Amino acid sequence: MNILSNFLTSDYNYTWMIICQIGIISVILLLGNTIRRLTFFKKMLIPTAIIAGFIGLGLKYLINFISNSYFDFTLMPNEFYESITYHGIAIGFIAMGLKEEKKNGAFQGHPFKSGLLIVSTYLLQGVIGLTITIIIAFIFTGFPNYSGIILPLGFGQGPGQAGNIGGVYEQAGFIGGKSFGLMIAIMGTISASIGGIFYINKNKVERKNDTNNTYTEALVDSDKEISLSESIDKFTIQVSLVGFTYLLTFGFIYLVTRILPAGSISSLVWGFNFLIGMLFAILVKLVMKFLRKKNIMKHKYTNNYMLNRITGIVFDFMVICSIMAIEVEKLNSKEMWITLALLGVIGLFSTYFYVKFIVKKCFIGYEHEAFAVFYGNLTGTASDGIALLREIDPEFKTPASDDLVTGSSTAIMFGFPILLITGIINTSNLWTYLSYVLLIVLFFVFFYFLYFFKGVIGKKKGVIPLAGEEKKDE
């Protein structure tokens, strides 16, 4: 006991705590991957990180109960998992922002149309979420009527953003706001699996078996890039660029929040670390591109394949930690559980039927693939959308995957009003109801441009023929 206590009060708190936590998460991830190989979980397309996260959540409460009963310490501290969730989403977005776009028309996707679909779904989810919580607030006095705005954050943007904004609301008085947001995000990921598998089976879409991707040497060592045999490892360069960009992000946020008055606005800026990081990543990428154009920089230092690996690593750890960060004891009221159940069920059905309706009319020729990638992304994360798409289009022959990439970029521009709304909606009842009305108006505006505006979307029913494909007879 004394030896253990001395260990915990010396080296553990400063060095070994981080190493032990990473080791625990790694073991849980390996266990989740083993369970994922079982036929049931494999057919349900439940991501390994989700399985591992729930294992970790149960293990956290079990181990902490034992450690707190016999020792004066917490072996699995919640603050660590919250930190990984918070920083993981920003690092992942920065890695995606540093990637070079495909050239020479390789993208077949339609960024305008895809971006409108993504943002209009966010708006629909926001309207539905607020409708539910406004009604709940009338029934259960004291429940935050603005909390429904977290539905599009949890379903549409994942646990990182839902946890961040939920944490901001918790600081402003919403008890359990962070765990509330994380629970919505988890329900969204589960909805991605349930709705996606149901759609594939109902429409009898041919499902492909897992395929082993063949990666050529050109993916990691092309002629225009720095060599793998440099004095510094090429992957180290990618990590360093991400770290440098995140440092710029921190400096910018720190300066901005020093200027802004203390309060919810400052907290919101810190909560949008992922978006600011994405913008700085694009800026760094443009600067490097300019230096190459002026022949000041001789080689290209970014590598898309390696940046994808960084994104995959941090997102897997982020999803696991976001589930482990849930504090179940804060979700201790019946109104909280009733609200979560309604948001989860109604969010699933509304997203399912809206995306199905839009892709049938606007993505003719590959509506099944478009549904898989967009529904998965708009309930879970981009990785859920890609996982569903791989079931029916493993080689990405349709433009669906490009639609997701290009649409996500334009959605940042289209979705900026939603981000502003999340910053003011909790300040007063007046702003809550004004934001509710504004979401309804914006939804119909975006829906009009998506479905009816022929000048941009297409000549008939929003149809844009696929690249190299003639218009089909109807």
- Tens digit of pLDDT for each residue in 14-66? 677 788 889 999 999 999 989 888 867 777 667 788 788 889 988 988 888 77
Q: Is 216 left (phi over 0), alpha (psi -120 to 50) or beta?
A: beta
- Residue 190 corresponds to which tokens in the numbers above? 């589960």
State the Cα–Cα distance between residues 210 and 244, nearest whole angstrom. 36
Based on the fold, state whether residues 130 and 66 are members of the same structural domain.
no
- Residue 66 corresponds to which tokens in the numbers above? 């034992």
Q: Is residue 467 part of a domain?
A: no
Q: Is residue 29 part of a domain?
A: yes
- Tens digit of pLDDT for each residue in 341-381? 999 999 999 999 999 999 988 888 888 889 988 998 899 77
Based on the fold, state whether residues 201 and 71 are members of the same structural domain.
no
Phi and psi dihedrals of 411, rounded to 5?
A: -65, -30
- Residue 93 corresponds to which tokens in the numbers above? 């977005």
CA distances to 118, 123, 382, 384 from 354, rounded to whole Å, are 11, 12, 18, 18
Domain of 19 in residue numbering reads as: 2-76
Q: Are 185 and 151 in contact (CB under 8 A)?
A: no
- The amino acid at residue 220 is V
State the Cα–Cα distance between residues 366 and 360, nearest whole angstrom. 9
pLDDT for 218: 52
Q: Is residue 68 part of a domain?
A: yes
**Coil vs helix vs strand at 300:** strand
Based on the fold, state whether residues 64 and 164 are members of the same structural domain.
no
Based on the fold, state whether residues 166 and 26 are members of the same structural domain.
no
Based on the fold, state whether residues 39 and 134 are members of the same structural domain.
no
* DSSP classification of residue 453: -
Burial zone of 287 (CB within 10 Å; 0-12 exposed, 13-18 middle, 19+ buried): exposed
The separation between CA 444 and the C-alpha centre of its own chain, rounded to angstroms, equals 25
Q: Is residue 56 part of a domain?
A: yes
State the Cα–Cα distance between residues 125 and 348, nearest whole angstrom. 10
- Note down pLDDT in tens along the chain; length 474 residues: 444 555 555 555 667 778 888 999 999 999 998 988 886 777 766 778 878 888 998 898 888 877 766 666 667 887 888 888 888 878 987 887 888 765 544 445 577 888 899 999 999 999 999 999 999 999 988 889 999 999 998 888 777 778 778 888 888 788 888 889 888 988 888 888 888 888 887 876 765 554 455 555 556 656 566 666 667 788 888 999 999 999 999 999 999 888 876 655 666 677 778 778 888 988 999 999 899 888 888 778 888 888 888 888 887 888 788 788 877 777 777 888 999 999 999 999 999 999 999 998 888 888 888 998 899 889 977 767 777 787 777 766 778 877 776 677 677 777 778 878 887 888 889 999 999 999 999 999 999 988 876 544 434 444 444 433 444 433
Number of independent structural domains in the chain: 2
Q: Is residue 226 part of a domain?
A: yes
- Residue 334 corresponds to which tokens in the numbers above? 């019946």
Based on the fold, state whether residues 31 and 134 are members of the same structural domain.
no
- Residue 57 corresponds to which tokens in the numbers above? 């959540």
Burial zone of 198 (CB within 10 Å; 0-12 exposed, 13-18 middle, 19+ buried): exposed
Q: Is 376 left (phi over 0), alpha (psi -120 to 50) or beta?
A: alpha
State the Cα–Cα distance between residues 124 and 26, nearest whole angstrom. 37
Based on the fold, state whether residues 67 and 140 are members of the same structural domain.
no
Q: Is residue 225 part of a domain?
A: yes
**pTM, entire model:** 0.71
DSSP string for 205-231: PPPPPP--PPPPGGGT--TTBPPTTSS
Based on the fold, state whether residues 291 and 238 are members of the same structural domain.
yes
Based on the fold, state whether residues 65 and 120 are members of the same structural domain.
no
Based on the fold, state whether residues 202 and 332 are members of the same structural domain.
yes
Based on the fold, state whether residues 270 and 389 are members of the same structural domain.
yes
Based on the fold, state whether residues 40 and 175 are members of the same structural domain.
no
Q: Is residue 466 part of a domain?
A: no
Q: Is residue 297 part of a domain?
A: yes
Q: Are 335 and 250 in contact (CB under 8 A)?
A: no
Q: Are 347 and 128 in contact (CB under 8 A)?
A: yes
* DSSP classification of residue 121: H
- The amino acid at residue 257 is T
